[in-house]
Structure 1
């Protein structure tokens, strides 16, 4: 058993073959030493074997190769006449090289465990901020993807959630200004408020007010701590799916990217953000109004953060979201389905940027369920319980890993 948990670097059909390269090198050194002549001995190169093992194998495998290299050196060197033997000096070199390689493997394995622990913490943080959501919940079918600009961070200031309530289902998508832990804290504060206010408050305007107040309180707290991010704000779109209007939605936009209504008949851009971002409402003289807008049963609502609309290619051209989605739906109306739509935008952004994202990127698509699956059930709008439980798995709910599409 290898020392510490790790993910093997070389695998074939699920089995690790990290032990193979050092073994091939060992065999190659032996063959070359016997075939290069007495005046050009290369048996000392066997010291490379434990060095290679230290880079790709575990501690015990590296130690085994160190011992095997030392024994092989003695056997092969003694097979030559005395005048051509490499001698005791090279024996010490091979022994020292094996010891240092084993020590290097110990250090590497400890670092890998530490990095794994940090990633576990980041994953826990991600699941705390962006809780898992069932793919069909609260009368809605949805899919979402979150792509972190820093692939090791796994979490940033983008956020989204669905909150069922006795007053209809509410959806929130947003982007906190800035990066780092400060943005994560602000996103968590806003989501916490949304989950409470979105359930208890009947009026969407009141939910918007609660979000604005929470952002101001969060800024006041960070400023009191003397932190430099005391002026942080967030753009967001707050949406309600009213039960009394099955082909309409209520939308209030806090300076966020305008949502797109995507359906078999084409793509419509909903009104853009006519209000200030959360935390800056006093500068605009109040909160943005709530608009009631038509949304057909076969239309999907597509919401993105500026990581999509500001994605650039090599020459600096922006990704044309509306144009690309329009082309995709015109070629195949079935691409308006949430999972396929999110996957299409994700692949388009990554292709456009050649995989080099400059900002955290969130793509979220949602539409009403129709037919038998559209009836409320446990965890739907009539159920006050949180459905983010063991049944919500990565890639099937609201918390996909970087590059994974929820529900796909």
Structure 2
């Protein structure tokens, strides 16, 4: 719940029923009994039920009846058929509004509970990142999307094994609890396979087998797997994911496109040959940024995508934490609003 926002909605929406009834009362008072605007007072409880709770709807309905009584008495139409029908209308709208407000609040509570559970599950899945892992310093930022879509399937993990530091950054197709469940399957398989398999294709195959028991034929997970070696750079395996960026100390930025396109995880049956890996040098001071498509698909007010390659210079800060904070701030400032999709950014910097 945002700052300055109460459970019954922002201030303009809370005032709307009273403003409407005040305007109607002034107009009816000015026009006199010959026109008869009193039935429009039912708009007060109707508006209240849209944005407020049960008791606010009841209070506005009672106020509407009081105003109707006073205006009818002033115009000397109290007790007439039209006035009595107005009372019935206000009472009926108030009763309907009470029912609607009750069901709406119940659904909102249920939705909030589901979101809280899913977000708690995500926090358990996406464990805190160790700042130093083998020959690299690692830092990550996860930006949740707008309230309507804030539960997503972005995932990341870094583990140190006897074969090097192994990393995964991925994005599950879709959102909601299904996406969180699929992310859990991917991370569980990766955390187990990263210690057992001799190479990244073996790790990817283990994830594929785990997903085969989970996904439908139309679902998939894009991901980049990386293995950071002590001296020989980084081995990358890209499965349909945006390419990582290599940032040199001189601020040059190199997109690390895969040697050949490969299908996302969960769709390996579509091709005959295994996805190829690529070896990239990572010298002391070099950085590698892995990210999800929520970063490069973020748009500004004019609908322009975030130019990540051009903005990667903000990662030049001495401390990787400051560097990734700078990138996150730059992204949010560029968009100027909550993101439409979750965004994960993982920065690896070879220690000097």
Say if 2:32 and 2:75, in contact at 8 Å, map to a contact too. Answer: no
**What is the rounded CA distance, in whole Å, between the counterparts of 2:51 and 2:238 in structure 1?**
50
Matched residue, 1:365: 346
Say if 1:311 and 1:319, in contact at 8 Å, map to a contact too. Answer: yes
> How many correspondences in the alignment?
336
Extract unaligned runs of 5+ from structure 2: 1-5
Alignment of structure 1 residues 255-274 onto 2, 5 Å: 255=239, 256-269=241-254, 271-274=256-259
Pick one of 134, 149, 154 that aligns with 2:151: 154
Pick closer, same or farther for the CA change 1:154–1:75 going to 2, 3 Å. Answer: same
**What is the rounded CA distance, in whole Å, between the counterparts of 1:293 and 1:347 in structure 2?**
32
Matched residue, 1:250: 234
Residue 300 (structure 1) aligned with residue 297 (structure 2): no
Say if 1:257 and 1:273, in contact at 8 Å, map to a contact too. Answer: no
Secondary structure of the structure 2 residue equivalent to 1:272: coil
Matched residue, 1:7: 7
Greater Cα shift, 339-348 or 41-50: 339-348
**What is the rounded CA distance, in whole Å, between the counterparts of 1:162 and 1:187 in structure 2?**
15
Residue 88 (structure 1) aligned with residue 77 (structure 2): no
Alignment of structure 1 residues 1-400 onto 2, 5 Å: 7-11=7-11, 19-82=14-77, 86-129=82-125, 131-134=126-129, 136=131, 138=133, 140-146=137-143, 151-152=148-149, 154-156=151-153, 158-164=154-160, 169-176=165-172, 178-179=173-174, 184-198=180-194, 200-201=195-196, 205-206=198-199, 208-219=201-212, 221-222=213-214, 227-229=216-218, 234-242=221-229, 244-245=230-231, 249-255=233-239, 256-269=241-254, 271-274=256-259, 276-277=262-263, 278=265, 280=268, 283=271, 285-286=273-274, 288-289=276-277, 291=279, 293-297=281-285, 299-306=286-293, 320-322=307-309, 324-325=310-311, 328-329=313-314, 333-334=316-317, 337-345=323-331, 348=334, 350=335, 362-368=343-349
Q: For 1:346-401, what per-residue CA distance to the aligned partner results, in whole angstroms no more than 9, with x for missing partners?
A: 655x47xx9896xx564413134979xxxxxxxxxxxxxxxxxxxxxxxxxxxxxx
TM-score normalized with structure 2 length: 0.75
- Structure 1 residue 50 displacement after superposition: 0.9
Pick closer, same or farther for the CA change 1:98–1:342 going to 2, 3 Å. Answer: closer
Say if 1:8 and 1:56, in contact at 8 Å, map to a contact too. Answer: yes
Higher helix share: 2
TM-score normalized with structure 1 length: 0.66
**What is the rounded CA distance, in whole Å, between the counterparts of 2:58 and 2:157 in structure 1?**
50
The alignment's C-alpha RMSD in Å is: 4.2
**What is the rounded CA distance, in whole Å, between the counterparts of 2:99 and 2:287 in structure 1?**
57
Structure with larger RCO (C-alpha < 8 A, sep 6+): 1
**What is the rounded CA distance, in whole Å, between the counterparts of 2:56 and 2:298 in structure 1?**
45
Secondary structure of the structure 1 residue equivalent to 2:258: coil
